[in-house]
Chains A and B, each alone.
Chain A
């Protein structure tokens, strides 16, 4: 499996698709962090809550999700799936390799995002004669952000396996996260079952990362998020297993 995951990363590195994702993450995270610190009141800069909230995993998670989708759908789009399945005819291995690669790409993207936040925020806060406190609580938050983005990366791979069409999967994924889940949450609150919205994927993983309040506990959010990864991954495997490569 290590060999197959290594080959997946070689696929990623030998095209230019990933560069746009990484640039978007670095630039948007850097600008967002600078704007957040720059617009904060001097007293807020030293509060642990403000400093923790600078560390948001949302963008890294979104990009990990999209990269996970792309890593799978690009194979069907360009027909490279034929050669991939000739080398790895046991399709369950292909599915697991894609999931692990998505997971690890999520880790890398989240670590990069945290590094950018710290690289921008720490000197800006220092200018105000304050310091960024890297305590255990911040460390735990970083850990959840990294693990959350990893789950998003694997979820993206599963989503891509399930839908196969690159355009459809990317549009559907973005619409789900940015629009449909919010609409569904609203609908559920209108029929007085708003607690059910906590179990939707973005809500659950947001609760795990700590970016969503009044939701599931981080542990419960993580378990629900993992269940989504496994469930959608299994559906994706069934789809790929029964697909003819023509």
Chain B
């Protein structure tokens, strides 16, 4: 469980996070979205005890991060900034963390294999590509086999195969019952992976919804394709329904598929396609934040 309660953080006169509250239920995979500068990284750092709030509180597993015993074994984190010494090898970076957290060195080799970085483990980190750095960050996050993961843009720098690997890894972690809070600007990627989304804008919460709720935001709309689209459009318009032609005999209709189907049947109009419209995460995100920037 991750809790954020009335969190406010200011940097000088800039309010990065403004009275933000949300919680992440145990065992869920939650996307944390917002335009650039919305306050996502500040919120994640506040959750991890790296940033001191001006007001409000955060807790992980019922306690402020700073009060957790053996925090590496409770919470794993990947943050946007690279946090390994460039002159230290990836393996030694993890050895240092394992030593400080009293974890066996054998665990270092396990997580290196898990993130597929064994081959480069003894190379100095300054020679790592962006993708390798992300994998090393994930290895550090998984070192203590934690039940909660906080991931800030973990897909950054990963190639398409890497993104697919990350998606599979996250799904596997979620199946094991872990709680994952993940921020990403790749909305399509997030939509395929998470159970819930928390969307913030200018430091404030604008929506906390399950993916089913997000998709239902376009409920009551349908897409229909017919060889007699012009006639169907006229009949729908006469019935007071907004209709928009998408070309090629396809219509976007502001009514449910039941109503469209019944009307077509009543007038003997052949349909080649009739489906309920579902909102995409991107559409909902853009509508709620009023921006076309990335999350």
Contacts and interface: CB of A to CB of B under 8 A. Distances in A.
B49 A87 contact: no
B51 A246 contact: yes
B239 interface: no
A39 interface: no
Contacts of B79: 82
Contact of B97 (A15, A74, A87): A87
Interface of B: 41-42, 45, 48-52, 65-68, 71-72, 75, 77, 79, 81-89, 92-93, 95-97, 99-102, 140
30 contacts: A3-B99, A3-B100, A7-B99, A10-B95, A10-B99, A11-B88, A11-B96, A14-B88, A14-B93, A14-B95, A78-B85, A79-B82, A80-B84, A82-B50, A83-B140, A84-B100, A85-B49, A86-B48, A86-B72, A86-B75, A87-B100, A87-B101, A89-B49, A89-B66, A89-B71, A242-B52, A244-B51, A244-B52, A245-B51, A246-B42
Given A6-B99, A10-B96, A14-B88, A83 B52 contact: no
B71 A78 contact: no
A81 B83 CA distance: 7
Contacts of B45: 244-246
Interface in A120-158: none
A85 B50 contact: yes
Interface string A3-41: 110110011001111000000000000000000000000
Nearest to A85: B50
Contacts of A14: 85, 88-89, 92-93, 95-96
A167 interface: no
B88 A82 contact: no
Interface of A: 3-4, 6-7, 10-11, 14-17, 74, 78-90, 242, 244-246
A93 to B, nearest CB: 10
Chain A contact residues: over half helix, strand or loop, or mixed? helix
Given A3-B100, A246-B42, 6 more contacts: A11-B85, A81-B83, A82-B79, A86-B72, A89-B71, A244-B50
A83 B97 CA distance: 8
B100 A78 contact: no
Nearest to B98: A7
Which 9 A/B pairs are nearest by Cβ-Cβ distance? A7-B100, A14-B92, A245-B50, A7-B99, A89-B66, A82-B83, A83-B83, A15-B87, A244-B51
A245 B99 CA distance: 22
A79 B99 contact: no
A79 B52 CA distance: 18
Nearest to B87: A15
Contact of A15 (B72, B85, B100): B85
Nearest to A83: B83
A84 B75 CA distance: 14
Nearest to A9: B99
B68 A89 contact: yes
A82 B80 CA distance: 11
A17 B102 CA distance: 25
Nearest to B97: A87
Contacts of A87: 71-72, 97, 100-101
A4 B84 contact: no
Contacts of A79: 81-83
Contacts of B99: 3, 6-7, 10
B287 to A, nearest CB: 30
Contacts of A10: 92, 95-96, 99
Nearest to A12: B96
A61 to B, nearest CB: 26
A35 B67 CA distance: 56
B68 to A, nearest CB: 7
Contact of B100 (A81, A88, A242, A245): A88
A186 to B, nearest CB: 41
Contacts of B101: 87
User: Which of B45, B68, B85 has its CB near the most chain A CB atoms (within 10 A)?
Assistant: B85
A81 B100 CA distance: 13
Contacts of B85: 11, 14-15, 74, 78, 80
